[in-house]
Amino acid sequence: MTMFLSNLISGISLGSVYAIIALGYTMVYGIAKMLNFAHGDIIMVGAYICFCCLYSLGFSPFVGILASMAVCTLLGILIERLAYKPLRQATSLSVLITAIGMSYFLQNLAQIIWGANPKSFQTVIPAGNVSLMGGELKISYVSLVTIAASVVVMLALSLFVGRSKMGRAMRCVSEDKGAAQLMGVNVDLTISVTFAIGSALAAIAGVLMCSAYPTLKPTTGAMPGIKAFTAAVFGGIGSIPGAMLGGILLGVIEILGRAYVSSELGDAFVFAVLILVLLVKPTGLLGKKIQEKV
Amino acid sequence: MKKTTVSKYLRRFLPYLIVIAAFIVCQSMIKTGAMPRTTKALLIPVCVYIVMAVSLNLTVGISGELSLGHAGFMSVGAFTGIVIAAYFREAFGAPEAVQLLMAIISGGVLAGIMGVLIGVPVLRLQGDYLAIVTLAFGEIIRNILNCVYISIDGKALRFSFNRPDLPGKLLFRGPSGATGVSRIATFTAGFLLVLFTLFVVLNLIRSRSGRAIMAIRDNKIAAEACGLDVTKYRMMAFVTSAALAGMGGALFGQNYSTLAPSNFSFNASILILVYVVLGGIGNITGSIIAATVLYVLPEELRAFSDYRMLVYAVVLIAVMLLTNNVAIKNFLASLRGKGSEKSERKDGEAV
């Protein structure tokens, strides 16, 4: 029982990281209607920036996180302006290939700057754990902070999108870009802000992920990026609560699958569940069904 | 009249002509010793990637479904081929050509069967959902291969899941993949496989079924209303593409002495997709050229060592931005417009 609970909590913790990444994916998809494959690599850049601040410059973890968020935000805006904005009228496949090119670019740039050898990322969160149930169940601070961070991010994002003026603009643009523009919404600015928020979230996710799984390589972001994309689709792409739900479910399924089915088949298990869900509910758990018209 | 038929046939057989001409040039360079060894080593992978790109183009370009798991079919073909070739060698002492042929056939068949199994659920979905499920299947195949162990014990093949302690000689050992493969792939075999792929794909496109597949791509509901069996035709394209990818994979597997499932990750699928998109979606000749140039380019860029993949990424982004630039598009269209006007006039004169 305690074993199960402990696995469940590490699953939720991993899932929270996926959820934060998936939020970025789903927002960008909702507004720009593109799969931003470079999103996973922004996680990696965020983690590297934090690593540099902590070890080369000797800043405190708090400054490190802020710095990595700032750099990733700028990076996100820059990528959107340089690579994606000229392609707004292009076919979705061209945009996809550009995003893949961006992903290669970031990975290889990181490899040139920081080298291909994995770096050992030491946690920004104090080590230690909370003991529950008479010391049988131990929850590490990293897990607690990760879960708390994702809840805070989720709430803040829901409030922002639901209540603020910019959030309303985002919802308008995601519904109908042309009509939003006619109503006086600054579409370019809105898309830039979306990329900025998504990238800042990716930076947080990168730091949290490397605190829990401390190996940092130029390809660190690739697999979590794909899984977060899966999580976003799982929950219904374009939906913010869906991304959160999908991310956490995915993390729990992965950890429980590794623990109880087969340690090698964890990823296969995740993807198999995804396929089953999509077969039963082709728009994801919380996705809206759009009726196809002739 | 005569001129138009000549140009029509020329256009129709252009992919074959390019491949045959390239083969003759390469063979004569090998015979005269003009080809450096490093370039020679690229010939078989280039053939394989042409097969991969052309077959993926059938799914992405002709059938209009974005598949992100093509490398999964390639890996099924590669490892089936390795096991079958080793089986024919160990159990029957078959000559290399027979081993290679059996490897390619079995790789194609098994990948085709996988194509059917995967196609049934995948083709119920559309757009990005279809893409993510093909991605998921590619990853699942790789994950499962990581747990499979195959050995040959006399004349019997033995399989196990997650247990390396099999009797006999291990042919395939989970995450480390296949080691000590005899490397029987030849450039001629690659050339023939490319021709076979072109023959299958081009004939499929020009057939009644091919037109049905393209009609479904252009408007599924309208095609369905015309009485086309949507699932059947989408399935036909998907499975053909998978089987051809398996054949390419089987040849690929015979070109390296060691091959692990991790060679066929998501990135490998993306690489093939990049060939298809840069070559022009739905354009078979484009796929052939793009696969060749883009496979050779990073290899020849080794002089830049660390920077080569960076350069590759920049080229990729630049090509996408330039080909989608409105000013350049208009300029090209105006050139083409003039060109077609001219050719029309010529046609008129000829008539």
Residue-wise pLDDT for B171-201, tens only, equals 888 788 887 777 888 899 999 999 999 999 9
Q: Which residue, A260, A152, A153, A250, is CA-closest to A198?
A: A153
Range among A11-15, A92-96, A217-221, B129-133 rated most confident: A11-15
pLDDT digits (tens, 9 = 90+) for A80-111: 999 998 888 887 778 888 888 899 899 989 98
Contact B313 A278 (CB under 8 A): no
User: What is the pLDDT at residue B326?
Assistant: 77
E strands, chain B, where? 148-153, 156-161, 169-173
Contact B274 A96 (CB under 8 A): no
Instruction: Please report the domains of chain A, with CATH numbers, ordered by start residue.
Output: 2-114+136-280 (1.10.3470)
Band (A241; pLDDT cuts 50, 70, 90)? confident
User: What is the pLDDT at residue B351?
Assistant: 32
Contact B43, B263 (CB under 8 A): no
How confident is the model over A263-275, as a mean pLDDT? 82
Contact B143 A268 (CB under 8 A): yes
* pLDDT of B248 above 90: yes
Considering only alpha carbons, which residue of chain A is nearest residue B280? Answer: A94
User: What is the pLDDT at residue A291?
Assistant: 57
Contact A87 B274 (CB under 8 A): no
Range among A271-280, B33-42, B58-67 rated most confident: B58-67
Neighbours of B322 (CB within 10 A): 12
Q: Which of A25-39, B50-64, B122-136 comes out lowest in average pLDDT?
A: B122-136
User: What is the pLDDT at residue A21?
Assistant: 93
User: What is the pLDDT at residue B342?
Assistant: 43
Selecting from B60, B129, B310 the residue whose C-beta is nearest the C-beta of A109 gives B310
Percent of chain B exceeding pLDDT 70 equals 93
Considering only alpha carbons, which residue of chain A is nearest residue B270? Answer: A100
How confident is the model over A140-146, as a mean pLDDT? 86
Fold observed for domain B43-292: ABC transporter involved in vitamin B12 uptake, BtuC (1.10.3470)
* pLDDT of B223 above 70: yes
Alpha carbon distance, N-terminus to C-terminus of chain A: 54
Selecting from B60, B162, B326 the residue whose C-beta is nearest the C-beta of A262 gives B162
Residue B113 or A282, more confident: B113
- For residue B337, give the amino acid letter: G
Interface mutation vs chain A, best among B67, B120, B143, most A CBs within 10 Å: B143
User: What is the pLDDT at residue A290?
Assistant: 59
How confident is the model over A275-284, as a mean pLDDT? 81
Contacts of A264 in chain B (CB under 8 A): 143, 146-147, 162, 174-175
For chain A, state the CA radius of gyration: 19
User: What is the pLDDT at residue B348?
Assistant: 38
For chain B, give every domain's residue range: 43-292
Contact B77, B193 (CB under 8 A): no
How confident is the model over A205-228, as a mean pLDDT? 86
The number of C-beta contacts closer than 8 angstroms across A and B is 125
User: What is the pLDDT at residue A268?
Assistant: 85
DSSP B325-344: -HHHHHHHHHHHHHHHHHHH
Which of residues 214 through 273 in chain A touch B, CB cutoff 8 A?
A: 222, 226, 229-230, 233, 237, 262, 264-265, 267-268, 271-272
Contact B313, B302 (CB under 8 A): no
User: What is the pLDDT at residue B3?
Assistant: 62
Q: Respond yes or no on whether ipTM tops 0.85.
A: no
Which of residues 13 through 72 in chain A touch B, CB cutoff 8 A?
A: 29, 35
